[in-house]
Structure 1
Amino acid sequence: MDDAHLLSDPLADILAAYMGERRGVVLLAATSEMPLPAPIARTLKEQRLQRVELQPLEPADAQRMARSMLVTDRAAAASPHLAKLSGGNPLLLRELARSDQPAAGGPVSVPSMASLHRTSLDGLAAEQRRALELIALAEPGRLCALERVIGEETLLRLEDLRLIRVSCDSPGAAPGVRTAHPLLPHALRAEVAHLRSRHHLRAYKEALGSAELSDNEISRLVGWSLSVHAECTEAELLRAVAILTERDDLTEALTVTRAGLVRFGTLAAHRALLDTLIALGRNAEVHEHVQAVHATGDADPSGLLWAYRVNASLQAHDHETARAMLPLVPARFERELLTSQLAWCERDYPRCSKVARASLRAAADTTEVVRATVFAMFADCRRGRPLDALKTYRGAVGCIDQRSCPPVVRSSLTSAYASALHLSGSFREAEQVLVAECRRSNLSVKIAAERQVGLGVMSLETGRVRAAVRLFASVAHSPSAQWRNTAQAWMVLAESSLPVPDRTLDPGVVTSIPPAHRTVHTVLAEAVTACGRGDRALALELLGFALAESLEQGAHTDAAIVAHQHARLGLRIPGADLARIEVQGDYLVSRVRFARGCTERSACLVQSAAEGFQRVGAAPAAAEAYAELHRLHQSDGDQRAAARAAAAAQRVLAQCDLLVPAPRQSADSFVPLTERESEIAGMAARGMPDKAIAEALSISVRTVSNTLYRIYAKTGVRDRRRLRRLMGSERPGGY
């Protein structure tokens, strides 16, 4: 459905009800410039609808689409102009192509934007046309201000003509006036002369008076002021840049910062431009700009901009250049924080944590406190010390007002807090933090993808596998390459717990993830894929290297995760490596205990791990631990304890939608099915009753029952339904 933002509430209610029944796939297209109908917005917040931000088309793609819309050879020649005029907006491109299709053999005529709405605008009085221009320029314009400038009678007439509509973007917000069609403001703005636009701006700002402005209004007014060379304060411009950056509209933010630099030329304007270039990854331009500033010697007499060159070098993975420039950074806080960042890039996490805490003591304002806290928390999380990270958060951040921090810095703090909660075992609290973030409407593409992956991890580790797969899939086409690759690795892990027919992603995709985006979970996905192919030697090599590297870097969280995966896949772990892993919190401690228990064949350690997993809500890991405990008790001859462990495993597994159990299958404990057992298992999985199997194989029903008992004991399943799902899988162990 196109233009879903134009749906009436009754129609939106019907559509939301249809989506709730999950009868099929619903694809909606809507503009972000207008609010969604309340029922659709509610469905989005309840995560029954996934949001994907569509970026403008590349010029080549826009030309290709334009050629497909035009009918004659001569019309196709207009495609470059059409593509440029549309700015990569497919909706606008469609309207341009529809508006004036040339006759066969006739001259090509590319219409103006206003001609797209000729029928809507023809017949308007001059006063009404001017009023509509002001509304388009100010959109969304405040109703009270527009009533003062335009007058109530003119507004009523425009509403009667269905050219404008009044809406509220959020509860409690001031009513705003928008044009009725999303393309109409583009058409009107393109036709307004420079001085007329400047006059409209002056009148509208006078009508606003001293009213407190929303983020949308600030960014719109600053952009409007710059376009007509009108006055705006440096504070307004810098706030507009922060708003645009938070929305991930970095191209527009760069345009505003360049204009601000020309207009003000202050150190703050230079820093705003450099921040935007860093966010865009234009590291070479950062070096060039700082060199040009230092060549004049006026704007940065104290050398504060050296920090940006260090940051750009770190982003470009040029650690030697960053290290050489660090002494040139004059401010102690910036120098120590960049030193911590360098240690992070070099994967020296203990040093990163130590230096970040030193910079925290040197922090002079709220933003510096939060920035240092973020680095200290992330470093502690990688070191396996999430409880220390939470202590840092509550001690340093709990007593300050985070609202004064830039949005990007606040977002990083939220990520660090959610990560610490997750690793410490506070799954529910971590999920609540991420859900609250996802409900924000102004998340950037990158941050939205990060939050979706985080929620997917929470869903997977609590046993909601199908929900996790949906969340990871929603990031599959994200413009953020980093989080797109991370989601692919997690999706391979999640789908390994589903029957083969239900899997949608080729596991081999993880081998194509570039080194800069590889994480410990990429290695886990590769190891699971290798085991699925029967290549246990490759899985052991991958995990063994990852474990040794994690311990060398002081990344004890990664070491605990890798050791746990070793044990889950039945691969041997050197006891000396296990003894070196030091972690905090029920979740990480339980991972290490499970690995040690499997290596040492200690029922006590495995039981402790199972209970720890169960306490934090990690149902799949708890079920696996209880299943391993069942096997250990069986091998010790303690059938009563084995039965209790098996019952506990089944109780926990019932909380999951984990369709294919993932029993540990080590070389010394896995007993394969005999040929006859495999034959009977296949017949039972196809739904044949014991009597029919007995008749088909000319054996007694009792023999069939006894054989099925042995099959259930070997495979870890308890009924035909689960056996059927297991027989549909072709792997030795899933996530």
Structure 2
Amino acid sequence: MASTDTLLELEQAGLIALDDSPADASRALARSNGSRISISNPLIACGIRQLQKPLRRRAHIRELIDVYSRDPNGLADEDQLRLLAWRAEVSPGELTESDLLFACQLAHSRNDLHAAADFSYAAWMKYKSPKAASLFARISISLGNHSAACAIADEAPDDADELQAIAARGLMLQCMHRDAETRFRHLTEVEQNRCQGILMYLRGDYRGCIDHLSKYLSDEDPSHRLEAAVFVSASLCGAGRPEDALDICEQLQNPADSNRSTPFLLYAEHLEDMRCIALAQLGRLDEAARFLSTEYNRSLSGSNSHSDARRGLFLGETLLEMGLPRTALEYLSLSDAYSTGWEVLEWKGRVLELLARHLLPGEWVVEAPGMEVLAGDGLGHLSSNAAVVNAWQEVSNSKFNQAAEILLTEAGSQMRRQAYGEVARLVHEMGRLGFSHHTTEFWEIPLQGSYLGAKVGFAKAIASSDVSLLRRAAATFASCGANLYAAEAYAELSRLYTRLGNDRASTAARQQAASLSSRCEGAVTPALRMLAEVNHLSAREREIAGLVSRGLSDKEIADALILSPRTVGNHLYRIYRKIGVADRRELRARWGKIHL
């Protein structure tokens, strides 16, 4: 047998060529021809990765391994991971299962999930241990590779229950709920209960999710505690209980439950996201945005290609709430190169992106996904978001009755589910779009925090002409950093003051609205559009208002002016908004007092 030195000389002379495609279980580690090796010294890196032929490179790597191995206990985590990666390339057969699993844990702690998956896969292929299979399946789900998790679950029958449960979670995150149910149907009662609780959240049954998963918040297994905390806190936010959700997130955020170095805890960063959602619902928008921005930038330095998009999605949602739709779009516009890896979050990103585009004049807006599509995919927790987008779409097409019906129907559905946080959102949107008179039945819902209360109070104040309540809602939005909502509230307050004959207060409120809206990146909403028009009616609108004051119906007005009834209805919608009335009766009562 030829010595290594002899082979090196033959290779340098071009007389032999090494096939550097490994055929064993380490192929995933070495598939990039050494590109996973991290070397601090640029000269060594250049020599090993680019200039040296395979045998020469491997010889140099062995020399480096020898140097690094002289004091293994003194190596930092980064150096230990580098050493293990080198050993996996040049002598994979010498690595024990403990070596590979330790390397997996180190890679995971550095947020390099691709390397962690490679090490766990190598451990599974060589040693076929349940632990290696479990790690690979969980990390695959984190990377959005549910098919790999399902494949290893089907290939490793010795620990089928745990692996089937992991695979079921991956399928749920990919919106394949029927396939998930097939997998967890035959598991233990406890595991079925946990899977069913997750499914209830995804389908918008927050009460059911809370009932199913709350008991696991004190489970001995930290992964069970963390998973329960993520979905229970998300459900509590949907139920209008952000204070309770924040309590859970902060109780579970301790070293034992959020240690990123433990690969089986897949939800650590998502508990932080839920905490930020709770903060946002409590009006602590700036705090949530700062944290998410820091974590987003941190994720950019890691090797988990989906982590940045997931963090960016929640950051974009918070920025949208703050009235910054253009900046939010930078994080919400997902693509093949910038994706979350989980279909459940991809849907959320699509809906939020459409909503941001509706706020910006001139932005291209595609047709919003219908609520029935989301319901069909089991994404009931996004149905209120879809309803809001669809309502804005109808308003942009001058279909105001349809828009009001969409929001009212969805609010009723969420009310029956006791999803009061979603109801507050929908009631607020009805107020923003001019349908506040439809919101009466939702005014007394139980909510935690002044911010959610201000959303309902905004619509209630407009419908009941309550100056004091509207002023409080505007001040709450402004103090929370929700500048767009505050601008709209002050614009409505200006119109209300005008109706009451208080021109001085009206001017002050209008100036406040203009100042706040200038910080909203050019966002345009019905309330701000009416503010820009300074309540002036066009000649056609004055004509129609006069006919209404005489008692004519839409059809009679349409016949008289040779218009369609729909066009008359659109004019009336704008008249109501400009004058600040809710219906024909109020318009007739106030028409004689209006100064045009």
TM-score by length of 2: 0.71
Instruction: Give matches, 1:18-97, under 5 Å.
Output: none
Within 1, Cα distance between the matches of 2:444 and 2:490?
Answer: 25
Are residues 1:637 and 2:496 paired? no
Which structure has more helix as a fraction of its residues? 2
Q: Distance in 2 between matches of 1:659 and 1:292?
A: 53
Report the 3-state secondary structure (helix = DSSP H, G, I; strand = E; otherwise coil) of the residue aligned with 2:94: coil
1:363 aligns with 2:197: no
Contact 1:594 1:625 survives alignment (8 Å): yes
Q: Which residue in the other structure is 1:395 paired with?
A: 251
Deviation at 1:246, TM superposition (A): 7.9
Provide closer, same or farther for how the CA distance between residues 289 and 477 of structure 1 changes in structure 2, counting only shifts above 3 A.
closer
Q: Which residue does the alignment assign to 2:45?
A: 178
Which of 325, 336, 341 is residue 198 of structure 2 equivalent to? 341
Partner of 1:599: 463
- Tell me if the contact between 1:369 and 1:397 (Cα under 8 Å) persists in the aligned partners: no
- Partner amino acid for 1:673? S
Q: How many residues align?
A: 505
Among 468, 479, 486, the alignment partner of 1:622 is 486
> Whole-Å Cα distance in 1 between the matches of residues 238 and 541 of structure 2?
49
Distance 1:276 1:266 in 2: 16
In the alignment, the residues of structure 2 paired with residue 460 and residue 325 of structure 1 have an alpha-carbon distance, to the nearest angstrom, of 38
Deviation per CA, 1:109-151: give whole Å up to 9, x if none: xxx999xxxxxxxxxxxxxxxxxxxx978843366xxxxxxxx
Report the secondary structure of 1:508's partner residue: coil
- What is the one-letter code of the residue matched to 1:604? S
1:457 counterpart residue number: 317
Measure, in 2, the Cα distance between the counterparts of 1:349 and 1:288.
31
Separation in structure 1 between the aligned mates of residue 504 and residue 57 of structure 2, nearest angstrom: 88
Select which of 134, 144, 150 maps to 1:271: 134
1:144-183 alignment, distance < 5 Å: 164-165=42-43, 178-179=45-46
Which residue is equivalent to 1:293? Answer: 156
CA distance in 1, matches of 2:492, 2:355: 20
Q: Is the 8 A contact 2:233 2:246 kept in 1?
A: yes
Cα–Cα, structure 1 residues 363 and 371, in superposed 2: closer, same or farther, change >3 Å? farther
Q: Could you report, residue by residue, the CA deviation over 1:290-339 in whole angstroms, capped at 9, with x for unpaired residues? A: 45533xxxx439x444423543553465656755765754595x555323
Alignment partners' CA distance in 1, 2:196 and 2:209:
8
8 Å Cα contact 2:81/2:107 also seen in 1: no
CA distance in 2, matches of 1:511, 1:328: 34
Partner of 1:382 in structure 2?
238
User: What is the deviation of 1:562?
Assistant: 1.8
Check conservation: 2:351, 2:389, Cα contact below 8 A.
yes
| 3-state SS, counterpart of residue 45 of structure 2 | strand
Show structure 1 runs of 5+ residues with no match: 1-111, 115-134, 144-163, 166-176, 679-710, 717-735
Structure 1 CA distance, aligned partners of 2:337 and 2:40? 36
Structure 2 letter corresponding to 1:461 = E
Q: Distance in 2 between matches of 1:221 and 1:519?
A: 47
Indicate yes or no: 2:52 matched with 1:141.
no
- Flag structure 2 segments of 5+ consecutive residues without an equivalent: 1-16, 20-32, 544-574, 581-596
1:232 and 2:107 aligned: no
Contact 2:313–2:332, Cα closer than 8 Å, also in 1: yes
| Separation in 2, partners of 1:193, 1:179 | 11
Q: Secondary structure at the match of 2:367?
A: helix
**113 and 492 in structure 1: CA distance in 2 versus 1, 3 angstrom threshold:** farther
**Aligned residues with identical type, % of pairs:** 21
- Change in Cα spacing, 1:221 to 1:287, as seen in structure 2 (3 Å) is closer
Task: State the secondary structure of the residue aligned to 2:435.
Answer: coil
Give the one of 669, 673, 686 matched to 2:538.
673
Displacement of 1:361 in angstroms is 1.8
In structure 2, do the counterparts of structure 1 residues 510 and 601 end up closer, same or farther at CA, with 3 Å as the change threshold? same
Matches within 5 A, 1:99-248: 139-141=37-39, 164-165=42-43, 178-179=45-46, 185=49, 188=52, 190-192=54-56, 196=59, 199-200=62-63, 202-207=65-70, 209-215=72-78, 218=81, 221-222=84-85, 224-225=87-88, 228-241=91-104
Map of 2:120 onto structure 1: 257
Question: What SS class does the counterpart of residue 302 from structure 2 fall into?
Answer: coil
Q: Distance in 1 between matches of 2:243 and 2:303?
A: 28
CA contact (8 A) 1:215 1:240 kept: no
Q: Does 1:424 align with 2:282?
A: yes
| Structure 1 position 387, deviation (Å) | 0.9
Contact 1:383 1:557 in 2 (8 A): yes
Q: 1:473 and 1:288, CA in 2 relative to 1: closer, same or farther beyond 3 A?
A: closer
Alpha-carbon distance, 1:275 to partner: 1.9
Aligned letter for 1:493? L
* TM-score normalized with structure 1 length: 0.59
List aligned pairs for 1:410-449, cutoff 5 A: 410-440=268-298, 441-442=301-302, 444-449=304-309
Q: Which moved more, 1:425-434 or 1:550-559?
A: 550-559
> Aligned partners of 1:486 and 1:187: how far apart in 2?
46
Deviation at 1:353, TM superposition (A): 1.9
- Residue 424 (structure 2) aligned to one of 556, 560, 569: 560
Give the whole-Å Cα distance in 1 for the aligned partners of 2:189 and 2:85: 32
RMSD of aligned C-alpha atoms?
4.2
Q: Distance in 2 between matches of 1:539 and 1:609?
A: 24
Q: Is the 8 A contact 1:222 1:237 kept in 2?
A: no
Q: 2: distance between equivalents of 1:283 and 1:314? A: 9
Q: CA deviation at 1:348?
A: 1.2
208, 226, 229: which one aligns with 1:373: 229
